């Protein structure tokens, strides 16, 4: 993968197709070279809308040679309510750009999903991460998800984004919980764990109990390693206890604002780490984020204990190219072939297949999808099944 910005978001809501509510591009921002076109939309009688393109933006949009269409739903199948905007961030080669879509809070985001259309300039083909945050009118991030998308010049790429609900928004006013929100509504006073502005031998520890961030003695344990306390962890990380989620294990996790802050795995076959995991304070998402802990989410790796995660944690698939060591939900017990509504119904190593009307748990396999087929097909546990792509360019697929 070459260095430097590769794709630029020029316009959003180029006649954005909306299911379940109105959406319109509101703004685009990013690094030098990225440009944005402001626009607005009004819902029609059928709940859909096409956003007009301002005259001063048309010259920019003429340069767009590709389109990315994201279909946004909740990961639990229930409607997302009270959403006033959706922020789409594209991450590639350590850089990122963000575009906002307006949305009617009175229109729930429900199946078959909300389609967001983005115009993209693609000097060359490649892969990027699209992160979507659904926000309330008060700016609180109520749900978040991501997808890896392969883009080629002159093509339209489609990807599904399943948003996981966060617990930091107050139902009463749409604002953040007392501990802050995942979009920056409540960083605690004190040091910054991302820039790690503490003296040598110390690290910045975030305390949910005292609502402060303070410099404390640190250690040398790296991102993803087991720890007994934060004193074991290297600067930039913190010892996270998964006991409240039901797993008796602690690991060091690296703080981040963007993917550029995340350490990457040495093994080439492992998925990249991304900045997408909010730090929980008392079960609510705080304003701090941590990097994913790269692991092998395939059925074979979970079955033989070879995921790369510390004992007590499972490797869970996030999207077609990313996974994270985490504590699985207690209800995550269904086996291959069982009916499911969401990934959290299926045991580790399995995912709820979105491609069929009757959704079932299917084994995760290593795919390396190209031209609609997998370049690997050797780890499906059930005879007669073969690894099938989730998305073009995806590292992982499902056994069907």
Q: Is the pLDDT of residue 77 over 80?
A: no
Q: 378 pLDDT band (50/70/90 cuts)?
A: low
Q: Is the pLDDT of residue 19 over 80?
A: no
pTM for this model (two decimals): 0.62
DSSP letter, residue 329: P
What does the alpha-carbon distance between residue 33 and residue 10 come to, in Å, rounded to a whole number?
Answer: 10
State the average pLDDT over residues 286-304. Answer: 91
State the average pLDDT over residues 169-196. Answer: 58
Identify the weakest region by mean pLDDT among 280-289, 304-313, 322-331, 383-392. Answer: 280-289
Q: Give long-range contacts, CB 8 A cutoff, 24+ apart: 185-193.
A: 185/139, 185/140, 185/287, 186/286, 186/287, 187/213, 187/287, 187/288, 188/212, 188/213, 189/213, 190/214, 190/215, 191/215, 193/236, 193/238, 193/255, 193/288
Q: 236 pLDDT band (50/70/90 cuts)?
A: very high
Q: 92 pLDDT band (50/70/90 cuts)?
A: low
Higher pLDDT, 300 or 13: 300
Q: 110 pLDDT band (50/70/90 cuts)?
A: confident
What does the alpha-carbon distance between residue 12 and residue 18 come to, in Å, rounded to a whole number?
Answer: 13
- Position 121 scores a pLDDT of 67
Higher pLDDT, 27 or 165: 165
- Position 169 scores a pLDDT of 65
- Position 362 scores a pLDDT of 94
Q: 21 pLDDT band (50/70/90 cuts)?
A: very low
Q: 377 pLDDT band (50/70/90 cuts)?
A: low
Higher pLDDT, 228 or 18: 228
Q: 65 pLDDT band (50/70/90 cuts)?
A: low
Question: What average pLDDT does the chain have?
Answer: 75
Contact 37, 61 (CB under 8 A): yes
Contact 36, 8 (CB under 8 A): no
Contact 133, 141 (CB under 8 A): yes
Cβ neighbourhood burial of 352 (10 Å; 0-12, 13-18, 19+): buried
Higher pLDDT, 168 or 354: 354
Identify the weakest region by mean pLDDT among 196-210, 228-242, 248-262, 263-277. Answer: 263-277
318: CB partners within 8 A, 6+ apart: 146, 274, 276, 292, 324
Q: 50 pLDDT band (50/70/90 cuts)?
A: very low
Identify the weakest region by mean pLDDT among 39-43, 238-242, 384-388. Answer: 39-43
State the average pLDDT over residues 346-353. Answer: 92
Find, among 151, 153, 11, the residue nearest to 88 by Cα.
11
- Position 125 scores a pLDDT of 61
- Position 36 scores a pLDDT of 27
State the average pLDDT over residues 142-162. Answer: 80
User: Which H or E run contains 116?
Assistant: strand 114-121
State the average pLDDT over residues 131-146. Answer: 82
What does the alpha-carbon distance between residue 321 and residue 392 come to, in Å, rounded to a whole number?
Answer: 10
- Position 370 scores a pLDDT of 83
Report percent pLDDT > 70 for the chain. Answer: 75
Report percent pLDDT > 90 for the chain. Answer: 26
């Amino acid at each position: 993968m070459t260095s430097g910005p590769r794709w630029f978001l020029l316009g959003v809501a180029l006649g954005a197709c909306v299911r379940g509510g109105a959406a319109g591009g509101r703004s685009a921002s990013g690094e030098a070279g990225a440009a944005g076109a402001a626009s607005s939309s009004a819902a029609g009688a059928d709940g859909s809308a096409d956003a007009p393109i301002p005259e001063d933006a048309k010259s920019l949009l003429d340069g767009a040679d590709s389109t990315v269409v994201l279909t946004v739903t909740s990961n639990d199948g229930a409607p997302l309510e009270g959403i006033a905007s959706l922020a789409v961030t594209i991450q590639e080669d350590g850089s990122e750009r963000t575009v906002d879509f307006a949305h009617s809070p009175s229109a729930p985001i429900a199946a078959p999903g909300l389609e967001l259309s983005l115009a993209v300039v693609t000097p060359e083909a490649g892969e990027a991460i699209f992160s979507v945050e659904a926000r309330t009118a008060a700016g609180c991030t109520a749900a978040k998800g991501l997808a890896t998308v392969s883009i080629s010049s002159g093509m339209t790429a489609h990807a599904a984004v399943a948003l996981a609900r966060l617990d930091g928004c107050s139902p009463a006013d749409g604002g953040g919980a007392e501990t802050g929100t995942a979009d920056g509504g409540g960083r605690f006073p004190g040091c910054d764990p991302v820039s790690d502005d503490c003296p040598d031998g110390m690290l910045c520890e975030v305390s949910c109990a005292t609502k402060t961030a303070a410099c404390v003695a640190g250690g040398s344990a790296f991102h993803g390693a087991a720890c007994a306390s934060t004193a074991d962890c290297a600067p930039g990380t913190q010892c996270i206890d998964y006991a409240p989620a039901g797993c008796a294990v602690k690991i060091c996790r690296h703080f981040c604002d963007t993917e550029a802050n995340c350490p990457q795995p040495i093994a080439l076959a492992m998925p990249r780490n991304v900045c997408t995991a909010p730090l929980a304070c008392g079960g609510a998402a705080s304003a701090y984020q941590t990097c994913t802990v790269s692991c092998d989410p395939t059925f074979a790796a979970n079955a033989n204990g070879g995921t790369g995660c510390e004992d007590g944690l499972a490797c869970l698939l996030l999207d077609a190219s990313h996974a994270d060591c985490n504590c699985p939900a207690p209800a995550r017990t269904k086996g291959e072939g069982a009916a499911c509504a969401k990934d959290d119904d299926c045991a580790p190593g399995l995912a709820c297949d979105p491609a069929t009307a009757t959704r079932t748990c299917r084994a995760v396999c290593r795919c390396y999808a190209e031209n609609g087929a997998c370049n690997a097909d050797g780890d499906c546990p059930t005879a007669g099944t073969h690894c099938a792509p989730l998305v073009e360019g995806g590292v992982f697929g499902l056994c069907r």
